[in-house]
Amino acid sequence: MGQEINSSNFQQRDFEQFNQCLAAETQLLGEMLRGGKLDSSDPVAGYELEAWLIDAKGDPAPRNAQFLQALADPDVVAELATFNVELNGPPETLAGHALSRMQHSLEANWFRCRRMAESMGLQLQGIGILPTIRPRDLTLENMSQLKRYIALNQQILRLRGGRPIDLHIDGDETLLLKHDDVMLESATTSFQIHLQVDADLAGRYYNAAKIASAAVVAVSANSPFLFGRQLWEETRIPLFEQAVSVGASDRTNRVSFGFRYIEKSIFEVFESNLERYPVLLPMLSDDDPQRLSHLRLHNGTIWRWNRPLVGFNADGQPHIRIEHRVVPAGPTHVDQFANAAFFYGLVTLFANADIAPEARLPFAACRTNFYSAAKEGINADVEWLDGERGSLKMLCLDVLLDQAQEGLTLAGIDHHEAAYYLDVIRQRLQTGQTGAAWQKKWVDRHGPQWRELTLSYAEHQQSAQPVHRWSL
């Protein structure tokens, strides 16, 4: 949903015309996929990182307009809240030293952003949920003044009949809250991992991403607290799902894990978009229908945890990429690309297996694994292939890390580079210290001092040491 729109005021005829265009473009995409018109070259990797601006006390600083104007970098853009920004980097063919090149690119961009923030008396922080965020920070006054965000809020509330958002999260503690707008979403920031794939194999990669999600969300968990409550290891998951809920049914929630695997083609997802999800932003476009502008805009308002996207190569050829949204921001850049390496390796191996793993793991179990892992982290008990059950931590250590190494080798990633990043995951598992675990241990030792926690986290983040090495 990164593209800006021209207006936030819509009439019924706008929805009718948009739906006509959406139906036509959905049919066109199906024809393009069946005709082999989409890219089928080697996988390409990419990322997006959402970050917080915080002040000297560790509180969110709603100043992204001034920050972005001074920075003037097209790869750094606004997010929903004025205390968030998003950093983007160039894509890399998934081979050789792609992971370290992406990390170095992000580090260079982060350094420029951090220096700009410091010149404004601020800090830049990558963390799933900022411990100091409060409900009173999440108001429309702190919404970035882009028309797409204004319209998004209006349309979500329209579909809800004006009813407030009901937030209910049961974790180690329970949080009950009513909120009047979609700004709860802005409390969740992520490290989104992209993988452009052969369109003919996109369904296999999509299923593989879903199967890998439980392990990836568990090892990357970094969001245990919200509004002073200790909830899930990765509280972003229930928070985001409820923050933009339209209140109709589970099958039309805008944020979800989904309800089944792809059976034949990735086109099934776009058919589902057309059939099940009401249009939120009926912004009509004069683009050539081949650009699929209406289809892409509509897809951008459905935030599946694994979301297929249609994009275009430099030569104009359309492609399919999978956006993996389960990973939180932080704790450090090496941690983030270790998470990416784990994801890329597992997905590559699963998608190219002779016997598809989706044939060996019922979707209901895959879905349950994901939510158990988000709630309990690496200590979750999961069902794996062929009905095997056990600790997710031991599954990762005994099976999945080796499979991720095999998958990265299959992709052509340099062996030593793959081993380096996966060893970060291994040590995280062996020490039991994920980002979420470190935050909880810090609070156990020092008490619920949210500003001090935030500043201590910031200090450790700047050390660039992976989180399994952080002290209390």
> What DSSP assignment string belongs to 107-168?
HHHHHHHHHHHHHTT-EEE--SS-TT--GGGSSGGGB---HHHHHHHHHHHHHTTTPPEEEE
| Confidence (pLDDT) at 65 | 97
Q: How far apart are CA 262 and CA 362, in angstroms?
A: 12
CB atoms within 10 A of CB 383: 18
pLDDT, average across residues 296-313: 97
Task: Assess whether pLDDT exceeds 90 at residue 286.
Answer: yes
Encoded tokens for 271: 């058919």
Encoded tokens for 363: 């979707």
Task: Assess whether pLDDT exceeds 60 at residue 2.
Answer: no
Of residues 8 and 73, more confidently modeled: 73
Give the residue among 439, 429, 368, 437 at the shortest CA–CA distance from 404: 429
| Confidence (pLDDT) at 1 | 42
Orientation angle between helical segments 98-119 and 333-351, nearest 10 degrees:
150
**Are 41 and 201 within 8 A, CB to CB?**
no
Q: How far is CA 233 from CA 112, 155, 225, 461, in A?
A: 31, 31, 8, 19
Q: How far apart are CA 57 and CA 28, in angstroms?
A: 53
Task: Assess whether pLDDT exceeds 50 at residue 153.
Answer: yes
* pTM (two decimals): 0.97
pLDDT, average across residues 153-177: 93
The DSSP element (H or E) to which 191 belongs, if any, is strand 191-197
**At 100, which amino acid appears?**
S
Q: What is the pLDDT of residues 314-371, one digit of tens each?
A: 999 999 999 999 999 999 999 999 999 999 999 999 999 999 999 999 999 999 999 9
Q: How far apart are CA 194 and CA 327, in angstroms?
A: 11
State the Rg of the chain over Cα: 21
Which are the contacts of 223, defined by CB distance < 8 A and separation ≥ 6? 127, 128, 129, 188, 232, 233, 234, 235, 236, 328, 435, 436
* Averaged pLDDT of the chain: 96
Domains and CATH numbers, the chain: 12-44+130-462 (3.30.590)
Q: What is the pLDDT of residues 99-129, one digit of tens each?
A: 999 999 999 999 999 999 999 999 999 999 9
Find the length of the chain: 472
Q: How far apart are CA 40 and CA 83, in angstroms?
A: 39
**Are 219 and 378 within 8 A, CB to CB?**
yes
Q: What is the pLDDT of residues 215-233, one digit of tens each?
A: 999 999 999 999 999 999 9
Band of residue 160 on the pLDDT scale cut at 50, 70, 90: confident
For a pLDDT cut of 90, what percent of the chain falls above it? 92
